[in-house]
Amino acid sequence: MLDNILIVMVNTTHSGNIGAAARAMKNMGISRLVLVDPKADINEEALQRSSRADDILHQARTVATLEEAIADCGLVVGTSARSRYIPWPLMTPRQCAAKAAEVAPHNNQVALVFGRESSGLTNDELHLCHAHVHIPTDENFSSLNVSQAIQVLCYEMRLAALELDKAAAVDQPAEAAEEGHGWGVDWDYELASHGELNGLLQHMEQTMVDIDFLDPNTPKQLMSRMRRLYQRAGMDKMEINMMRGMLAAVQRQANALKALQGADSDGDSH
Amino acid sequence: MLDNILIVMVNTTHSGNIGAAARAMKNMGISRLVLVDPKADINEEALQRSSRADDILHQARTVATLEEAIADCGLVVGTSARSRYIPWPLMTPRQCAAKAAEVAPHNNQVALVFGRESSGLTNDELHLCHAHVHIPTDENFSSLNVSQAIQVLCYEMRLAALELDKAAAVDQPAEAAEEGHGWGVDWDYELASHGELNGLLQHMEQTMVDIDFLDPNTPKQLMSRMRRLYQRAGMDKMEINMMRGMLAAVQRQANALKALQGADSDGDSH
């Protein structure tokens, strides 16, 4: 999908923005940049701001008109602070990405068009677009830097592309099972079983009795809250082992203390 | 919700990035910027790149350490290319925004932490975070400009805030808003702050040293894993108090034992 996305910048006036746009594109796996009658060069500043996305800058196509840039495109979306004059189909960035994900895989070119730093796209340019996309901004401060707008759109395109990949892979099983414990990373230890968690909580309760912190006849608020806490955390086996190691050490202390106190009171009674 | 979001930039080296970050924040309706030991000034370049978001630059807080920046925060999320060493809870930007939308409306401060341009956040800094967020990038070109990363996260925060507004407007008393800490029920206590959680972890570490379970000179795997566990759980203030009550009881035992052992060895030496 991402191979069929074009980023089109119209009359850009700052070289740095072209460079920053190239970097933002490359971060998201998008590589095709088209410059419409640019008012700035791909100079040292552009290369520097691109941070090694210079391949995108070198391959960028430069054309004279927006018409030329989008000639081969099946879907053209223009960025706009607001749709003006005539109401035009308006999408959120997410809807725009969903639409692109529908058409781009079928060999349709999709152009995302970004206007001038100072004034955006003209009405004529906006009317060349199938739809407009509006990045939801604070109404009192609505003008995004063009490279930031490109970042947001490319980010949504990438998410949509990843969703497509996932959907394509759904035939293979065990997808969810590979996701570890729902923490979004490969976890290093297995989740503790319910029995292991119970073992920990019983160990904790016994230890608290051993050190005279908990009266076994008292209401169990403490242990109820501890159960809620540790269940909620989704503990792994290593965490259980570490906690139990600590509790065992506490119990050894308690036993040593009781032994000495016993010896003492034995001594006293002699 | 957005009023309780803090953007925290650690050791930023380029003034332009601070300015661009301020603009990205303001576009999305987020205004609280914290600079941790910045290596660049808020100079002319920063003001220029902020494009009239200079109010955010002027109000930015500068602090010496990350700990100081996040002391009052109930949720701390660090941006990371990948979670390293010990696996840590990992979220997508969208999941991060959903989590923020759960907790921020309940007067919990949420910090989004961004690292150095050159090298991101250190492992120690990442371990201070409840969770990490990874912006899905092309694996061959994964380093986003810091202001672009801030743009993406602030964009997701704004979308989540707009969803909240919508939910609140859809008929009656914002049900979602009553959900406390995202556990789906009215919670009885506030989330613990980062400082309170740190207090617990330091107390735990000291207690483990007191009972000779932990050698203060040993590698810190134990405490890293405990930090991850308790941060992940999203502890409330009552849970912290209970845990500390238990630890204090353990310490009293340890002190009593040491006193008796001391008395014993005094006795022996006579």
Select the CATH number that applies to the domain covering A2-169 from these four: 3.40.1280.10, 3.80.10.10, 3.40.50.720, 3.40.50.300. Answer: 3.40.1280.10
- Please state which CATH class domain B194-269 belongs to: mainly alpha
Dump pLDDT digits (tens) for A48-86.
999 999 999 999 999 999 999 998 888 899 998 765 556
Cβ of A250 within 8 Å of Cβ of B245? The answer is no
Dump pLDDT digits (tens) for B9-45.
999 999 999 999 999 999 999 999 999 999 999 999 9
Residue B162 predicted with pLDDT over 50: yes
Q: Quick one: what percent of chain B has pLDDT higher than 90? A: 70
Q: Read out DSSP for A187-246? A: -SSPBPPHHHHHHHHHHHHHHHHHTTSS-TTS--HHHHHHHHHHHHHT-BHHHHHHHHHH
Cβ of A158 within 8 Å of Cβ of B136? The answer is yes
CATH code of domain B2-178: 3.40.1280.10
Cβ of B250 within 8 Å of Cβ of A245? The answer is no
> Least CB-CB distance to A250: which of B52, B183, B211?
B211
Mean pLDDT of A217-237: 82
- How far, in Å, are A87, A178, A204, B229 from residue A189 at the CA level? 55, 13, 22, 13
Cβ of B239 within 8 Å of Cβ of A261? The answer is no
User: Of all helices (H) and strands (E), which one includes residue B79?
Assistant: strand B73-79
Max mean pLDDT range (A5-14, A123-132, A182-191):
A5-14
Q: Minimal Cα–Cα distance from A199 to chain B, Å?
A: 18
Structure confidence at residue A166 as a pLDDT band (50, 70, 90): confident
Cβ of A249 within 8 Å of Cβ of B28? The answer is no
Structure confidence at residue B84 as a pLDDT band (50, 70, 90): low
CB-side exposure of A260: number of CA atoms within 13 Å?
A: 19
- Chain B's closest residue to A189, CA to CA, is B87
pLDDT for B177: 41
B81 vs B57, higher pLDDT: B57
β-pairing verdict for B131-133 and A32-36:
unpaired
Cβ of A242 within 8 Å of Cβ of B225? The answer is yes
Q: Minimal Cα–Cα distance from A130 to chain B, Å?
A: 24
Average pLDDT, rounded, for chain A? 88
Indicate where chain B has its CATH 1.10.8.590 domain(s). Answer: 194-269
What contacts B108, CB < 8 A, 6 or more positions away?
B4, B73, B74, B75, B181, B190, B191
Indicate where chain A has its CATH 3.40.1280.10 domain(s). Answer: 2-169
Residue B46, both tokens: 């920063």
Cβ contacts from A onto B, under 8 A: 164
> Least CB-CB distance to B144: which of A27, A252, A264?
A27
User: Of all helices (H) and strands (E), which one includes residue A113?
Assistant: strand A109-114
> Least CB-CB distance to B89: which of A184, A226, A238?
A184
3-state secondary structure of A144: coil
Burial of A80 (0-12, 13-18, 19+ CB in 10 A): buried
Q: pTM of the predicted model, to two decimals? A: 0.83
Dump pLDDT digits (tens) for A113-145.
999 999 999 988 988 888 889 999 999 999 999
Cβ of A211 within 8 Å of Cβ of B253? The answer is yes
Max mean pLDDT range (A100-104, A236-240, B3-7, B180-184):
B3-7
Exposure string of A101-111, with b = 16+ CB inside 10 Å and e = fewer, is bebbeeeebbb
Distance, in Å, from the CA atom of A108 to the CA atom of B198, rounded to the nearest integer, reads: 54
Q: Minimal Cα–Cα distance from B204 to chain A, Å?
A: 10
Indicate where chain B has its CATH 3.40.1280.10 domain(s). Answer: 2-178
